[in-house]
């Protein structure tokens, strides 16, 4: 059971978060606080695994609170829930698990909880189960590295994490110093970039050293690489898993759902490094094709609730995809949920007019009208 607290000076957010968290399994809300001082005292005296924290708080900011917790309770999973997008990179520096921008959605909260629970399960495993030096890398939805010896890696700087991610995407190859400087430190003057690269390599190795992973960073004169097993990387497992589902049917439906669950978000999440944009788009496209195929099969087997959940998740990544909207409309129609059916179409129509100055296709308008009529008949 994941024990959770909520820290926000607005009582309305306590209600919103409690309502959402109550819908998730294996979650127990053990406290709600309007200031960090009360929350800190509670954490000292009680078993708490996860804290949803607002950044703008009276007396002490949520960011300062997270910094203290990183030192006092490094096992506490901090998730920022805030109206301020600009603090996302600062949150990374205080080892926050996640960063959610208000208004929150159940899907977004569930993603954070799943990540925290995965870490919790790993930390509770026996050492024999973990292995002497097992490493697990999670690049979908963010960037986390965990070893079987001491838990998750705490990066000494943003750039050290970014450079690890860069070498991870180029694993199995030795990359020249010049190319790394161009791709990762391109915004700096050449002389400064070379110095910063040396510092970042040092910081990266120091971050990995407590986990017995210092040696995975390879270097030879002016080239660098990463020596790591592909089977420990979530986006590799995801992409390899997709190859088994050229056809999805009743025989492999639940196996397909397990592969879908690996996709906790786009590659590297909100960091979205410029040098990774092609891979981000490629994996996102593969996921979209897979989920739409999977959702169609789910609807054929009357698994409407699961189809709705996956399609809403997909739509949160690409709100302009008409095929996803059409499938979601069909899923709500299968549930005889005319309110949600109408809400999704009207929201899509409004966003198209507002952002792109266009309208839904005639085909979608026709499908929407037909589904509305079908729901009325079935009622």
Of 54, 2, 46, whose CA–CA distance to 24 is shortest? Answer: 2
Distance (Å) of CA 72 to CA 208, 211, 279? 21, 20, 37
> Is there a domain that residue 59 lies in?
yes
Give the containing element (helix H, strand E) for 359.
Answer: none
Instruction: Mark which of 124, 144, 174 sits at the end of a domain.
Output: 124
Same domain, 140 and 105: no
Range of the domain at 26: 2-124
Same domain, 20 and 81: yes
The residue written with tokens 């397990």 in the block is: 258
The residue written with tokens 């004169």 in the block is: 221
> Is there a domain that residue 353 lies in?
no
Q: Write the CB contacts of 119 (distance below 8 Å, at least 6 apart in sequence).
A: 77, 97, 144, 146, 151, 152
Same domain, 201 and 135: yes
> Is there a domain that residue 347 lies in?
no
Same domain, 91 and 156: no
Alpha carbon distance 63, 56 (integer Å): 8
Residue 267 DSSP code: B
Please give the structure tokens belonging to residue 137: 């890398």
Given a contact cutoff of 8 angstroms between Cβ atoms, the answer to whether 84 and 55 are in contact is: yes
> Is there a domain that residue 281 lies in?
no
Q: What is the 3-class SS of 148-189, one letter each residue?
A: CCCEECCCCCHHHHHHHHHHHHCCCCCEEHHHHHHHHCCCCC
Give the count of beta carbons closer than 10 Å to the beta carbon of residue 205. 17
- CATH code for position 227: 1.10.10.10
Instruction: Mark which of 196, 231, 266 sits at the end of a domain.
Output: 231
Same domain, 113 and 81: yes
Same domain, 111 and 142: no
Instruction: Mark which of 200, 231, 262 sits at the end of a domain.
Output: 231
Q: Which residues pair with 51 in a beta bridge?
A: 5, 78
Please give the structure tokens belonging to residue 143: 């960037």
Burial classification of residue 236, based on how many CB atoms lie within 10 Å of its CB (0-12 exposed, 13-18 middle, 19 or more buried) = middle
Q: What pLDDT is stored for residue 131 in this prediction?
A: 45
DSSP-H helix ranges across the chain: 11-21, 36-45, 62-72, 88-93, 106-124, 127-130, 158-169, 177-184, 190-208, 234-242, 253-261, 277-300, 304-317, 322-334, 338-351, 362-378
> Is there a domain that residue 60 lies in?
yes
Give the count of beta carbons closer than 10 Å to the beta carbon of residue 212. 15
Of 197, 207, 260, 206, whose CA–CA distance to 234 is shortest? Answer: 260
> Is there a domain that residue 285 lies in?
no
> Is there a domain that residue 323 lies in?
no
Q: Which residues pair with 144 in a beta bridge?
A: 138
Alpha carbon distance 379, 377 (integer Å): 5
Name the CA radius of gyration of the chain, rounded. Answer: 23
Same domain, 145 and 202: yes
Q: Which residue ranges in the chain fall short of pLDDT 70? A: 88-95, 121-133, 148-149, 230-231, 378-379
Neighbour order of strands in the sheet with 223-226: 175-176, 223-226, 217-220
Same domain, 119 and 169: no
Give the containing element (helix H, strand E) for 22.
Answer: none
Same domain, 93 and 142: no
Model confidence pTM above 0.75? no
Q: What pLDDT is stored for residue 130 in this prediction?
A: 42
Same domain, 50 and 67: yes
Rounded to 5 degrees, φ, ψ at 175 are -110, 135
- The count of structural domains within the chain is 2
Q: Is 48 helix (H, G, I), strand (E, B) or coil?
A: coil
Q: Write the CB contacts of 261 (distance below 8 Å, at least 6 apart in sequence).
A: none
Same domain, 6 and 102: yes
Alpha carbon distance 13, 7 (integer Å): 9
Same domain, 132 and 63: no
- CATH code for position 84: 3.40.50.2300
> Is there a domain that residue 244 lies in?
no
């Amino acid at each position: 059971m994941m024990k959770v607290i909520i820290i926000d000076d607005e009582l309305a957010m306590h209600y919103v978060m409690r309502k959402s968290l109550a819908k998730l399994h294996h979650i127990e809300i053990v406290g709600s606080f309007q200031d960090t001082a009360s929350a800190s005292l509670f954490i000292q005296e009680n078993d708490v695994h996860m804290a949803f924290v607002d950044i703008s708080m009276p007396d002490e900011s949520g960011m300062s609170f997270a910094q203290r917790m990183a030192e006092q309770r490094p096992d506490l999973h901090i998730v920022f829930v805030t109206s301020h997008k600009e603090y996302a990179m600062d949150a990374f520096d205080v080892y926050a698990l996640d960063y959610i921008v208000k208004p929150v959605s159940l899907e977004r909260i569930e993603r954070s909880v799943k990540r925290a629970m995965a870490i919790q399960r790993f930390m509770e495993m026996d050492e024999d189960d973990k292995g002497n030096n097992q490493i697990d890398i999670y690049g979908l939805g963010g960037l986390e590295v965990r070893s079987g010896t001491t838990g998750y890696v705490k990066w000494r700087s943003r750039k050290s994490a970014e450079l690890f991610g860069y070498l991870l995407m180029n694993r199995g190859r030795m990359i020249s110093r010049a190319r790394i400087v161009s791709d990762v430190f391109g915004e700096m003057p050449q002389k400064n970039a070379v110095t910063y690269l040396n510092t970042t390599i040092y910081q990266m190795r120091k971050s990995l050293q407590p986990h017995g992973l210092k040696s995975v960073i390879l270097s030879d004169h002016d080239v660098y690489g990463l020596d790591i097993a592909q089977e420990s990387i979530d986006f590799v497992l995801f992409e390899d898993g997709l190859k088994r589902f050229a056809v999805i049917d009743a025989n492999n439906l639940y196996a397909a759902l397990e592969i879908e669950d690996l996709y906790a978000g786009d590659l590297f999440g909100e960091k979205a490094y410029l040098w990774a944009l092609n891979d981000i788009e490629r994996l996102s496209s593969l996921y979209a094709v897979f989920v739409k195929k999977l959702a169609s099969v789910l609807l054929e087997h009357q698994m409407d609730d699961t189809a709705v959940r996956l399609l809403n998740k997909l739509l949160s990544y690409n709100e302009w995809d008409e095929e996803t909207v059409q499938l979601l409309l069909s899923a709500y129609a299968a549930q005889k949920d005319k309110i949600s059916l109408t809400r999704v179409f009207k929201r899509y129509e409004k966003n198209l007019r507002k952002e792109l100055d266009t309208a839904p296709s005639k085909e979608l308008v026709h499908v929407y009208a037909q589904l509305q009529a079908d729901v009325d008949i079935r009622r």
